[in-house]
Structure 1
């Protein structure tokens, strides 16, 4: 079945024009969302009408989420889509049950939680891509890039996305060993804690690997933008910063790594949606995990840290800036 599905994803012929709604957990200025939406539009946009709705849950206080959900549900009623594409855990937890109750098929991407967190994952109208960071593959890769590689700080926000990803792979442990390297895992939504972890990391670690950092707030509960946070981290850290996601790589950001691609997740989600628009029932489409990672590196970051990639890795990598 998996091989048949992959073959269908490659062709996924499009039917006559229908209506697709994309519901973002976050907002269009967030690069992850922008990248997967562009990918969806590249597959479906010429043949179908696409509506985009954002829940904005990284910036809005949680107390305001119910009002945003109500507004989104009202918009859904007017749009009456043939399929809904949900991006990330918050959109799924807030919207999936409502959509299937209205008999609207759901394709999800970027979801880290399982059926315990998201019972609607088991609904017959639901399929999609479970996002799974490449923890082991990333560390194995970085051990080939770094000369000092004994201890890593894995630093993330304390969002549902990161909690689910870490708990599925590591359970309740916040220390682990992968390929001979020791990992300490820190999840926090506090700006000072996050930054102090970066500033002091050189005392213990050889490198930092970041997950998402988009739910960080200061002591006055002000939202801290990811760019502001990473720029300060880059400026003051004494050890290199890598990433599990390609959206965090660039000038004065993280250097690179073996990463998940928002674009690839979007392409796959769009092709799954296309199958549904062509009459395939969602429960006939097996749910997938992130299909493949890729090497992405910042040229300025490599230069800043005086790092060289092997000819083999360099030949396979995408370079930014």
Structure 2
């Protein structure tokens, strides 16, 4: 083939940006991360080189977040990716100020906060888009009212005191204040810092007048020595010791020895959506032209064993996971 024909052939196809770096706020052992990483990997088109860095902010203290962000940025410098994926709020908060003027595209996922509050202060050549994550509070309450009929439902919602929990709590509080009179449900939100605080709130819930517990996030709880408590230990204990039904907002909280069910968010769907956005950028679209999206609206799932533990019959449209 003549040289000019070769050049014409090459120019007729967009240049592929084939190096992608994922910066995770958390760690590979966290079920949410496992799930969305699976979604990303199965969605990215062939030929894309992929690597990741874990900030581990579910387990290291907040005083270490900036240090972990510096290490993530070192990884970025060494890897030289064309596209960076920022997983969850801490990655966006701590890395966008370092990446905003780099010649790259950025895709975020799992963001509970308003990303514009972070983005507005840092405008440069980096282009950014992504997918938001919102707890399905109203949908969950609506389903629970049908599942557990009665004149009055009182719900205690449990969170840890981490950054994402704080943001998710604010979002739920805003929704609740807007439609409290329509729900016919009284809600209290607890932010526990320690394992003991969590356990006391679970055990006291019936005496405090609550009929249902919904667990949010529980990955940053510490024991009486200040050490992080494994997340599964928290949710399994909750299943074993709660005398009232326990439901969840995230899929990783639902299992035979965990929460009974709920209208839940799936990490995998966030990963799939983020992967689709990366593919669009690889194929020539500008990240700046791709609208920020709200993730999949969730599915109602349940564990047969956990439902039976609390004597509940799941609605026919809920999906069994065991």
Same fold, TM-score > 0.5, yes or no: yes
Q: 1:122 to 1:215 in 2, by over 3 A?
A: same
Q: In the alignment, what sits opposite 1:202?
A: 206
- What is the aligned-residue RMSD (CA, Å)? 2.3
Deviation at 1:101, TM superposition (A): 2.1
Q: Which residue of 1 aligns with 2:170?
A: 167
| Distance (Å, rounded) in 1 between the aligned partners of 2:171 and 2:156 | 19
2:314 counterpart of 1:309: yes
What pairs up with 1:105-254 in 2 under 5 angstroms? Answer: 105-115=105-115, 117-119=117-119, 123=123, 125-148=127-150, 150-171=153-174, 177=180, 179-203=183-207, 204-254=209-259
In the comparison of the two structures, how many residue pairs are matched?
Answer: 304
Secondary structure of the 2:157 match is strand
Cα deviations across residues 205-242 of structure 1 (Å, max 9, x unaligned)? 11100111111112321101111111111111100110
User: What's the CA shift for 1:195?
Assistant: 1.1
Is 1:270 the counterpart of 2:272 in the alignment?
A: no
Change (3 A) 1:306 1:172: closer
1:279 matched to 2:284? The reply is yes
CA distance in 1, matches of 2:201, 2:116: 31
1:54 maps to 54
Matched with 1:6 is: none
Deviation for aligned residue 1:66: 2.8
5+ residue gaps, structure 2: 1-13
C-alpha distance in 1, partners of 2:192/2:105? 35
SS in 2 for 1:253: coil
Map 1:34-53 to 2 at 5 A: 34-44=34-44, 46-53=46-53
Question: How far did residue 197 of structure 1 move?
Answer: 0.5
Following the alignment from structure 1 to structure 2, what is the Cα–Cα distance between the partners of residues 173 and 260? 19
CA contact (8 A) 2:17 2:82 kept: no
> In 2 relative to 1, CA 214–176 (structure 1 residues): closer, same or farther, beyond 3 Å?
farther
Greater Cα shift, 160-169 or 21-30: 160-169
Question: Under a length normalisation based on structure 2, what TM-score does the superposition of the two structures give?
Answer: 0.88
Greater C-alpha Rg: 2
Runs of 5+ in structure 1 lacking a partner?
A: 1-13
Task: Give CA deviations for 1:44-90 in whole Å, capped at 9, x if unaligned.
Answer: 16331110110001111223233322222111111111111111101
